[in-house]
Amino acid sequence: MMALMRLHAKDDVEKLWNSVLADLGGYESKEITPFYASQSAQGFVTVSLYAKNPDSIMEFLTQQICRIDGLSDSHTIPLIKPAFLPILKDTPATMGRYTIEVKVHPQDYSSLYESLLEKKYGSDLTLAYVAYLFGEYDLLLSLLAKDQKQVEEFAKSLEKTRKVIETKITPIRRTLLLARKEDWHRFRARLLYRPSWLKPDIEALYDFDLSVTEYGSPY
């Protein structure tokens, strides 16, 4: 299973960021693989990871995460049925990274999830992955976008469908891969979704091996 751990700093997010990189960079375990760390514009640090089972997450949280210097609080978010999408190869490296958390009317959970995967995105905004959530919000979208205005317009377009109750946008300041690149690529390939419109004659235009650190602000 895949999960996000949102880590909040006592007082200094830079100290927490450096502690996360020092403690989790190259971390290896049969139960847990931390894939990457991101720092949001709101000041928290997120660790994206693969876990063998829920018990593995709790052990990692209590034995590893809680020891990170500068940590004041944590919030673990399971990602259910995550699906990654190929993106156009000529997508500029200057594209920023954002997440949108989406609260959806219950009868529209699956139809919105599927329509997001099948949508053909343009050069100004594209979906990197989508997953179901448990809790206050029902879907998490990870996006690459030219600027925040593009993301805000996209969120408004979701709300206009009447399937969506509420959206919350989080800009991502920087991202660093914690795992070996080949491990991340192997995991992502297992969850790669190929839209029905992506025919063999245009496949060469798309990147099926996206690295999360290739886009957004450098660390």
Q: What is the mean pLDDT of residues 171-195?
A: 91
pLDDT of residue 22: 95
The Cβ of residue 94 has, within 10 Å, a number of other Cβ atoms equal to 10
The band of 5, judged by pLDDT with boundaries at 50, 70 and 90, is very high
48 band by pLDDT with thresholds 50, 70 and 90: very high
More confident call, 182 vs 45: 45
List, for residues 87-140, the tens digit of each pLDDT value.
888 888 788 999 999 999 999 999 999 999 999 998 899 999 999 999 899 999
Highest mean pLDDT among 14-18, 184-188, 211-215: 14-18
pLDDT band at 61 (very low <50, low <70, confident <90, very high): very high
Average pLDDT estimate for 9-29: 93
Does the structure show a pLDDT above 80 at 163? yes
Question: How much is the average pLDDT of 25-32?
Answer: 89
Q: Residues 65-71: contacts with CB within 8 Å, 24+ apart?
A: 65/5, 65/7, 67/23, 68/7, 68/16, 68/19, 68/20, 68/23, 69/15, 69/16, 69/19, 70/9, 70/10, 70/11, 70/12, 70/15, 70/16, 70/19, 71/7, 71/8, 71/9, 71/10, 71/16, 71/19
Per-residue H/E/C for 1-66: CEEEEEEEECCCHHHHHHHHHHHHCCCCCCCEEEEEEEEECCCCEEEEEEECCHHHHHHHHHHCHH
Q: Which two tokens stand for residue 59?
A: 């052990």
pLDDT band at 210 (very low <50, low <70, confident <90, very high): low
As a whole number, the mean pLDDT across the chain is 91
Sketch out the chain's domains with CATH numbers: 2-79+174-190 (3.30.70.260), 82-172 (3.30.70.920)
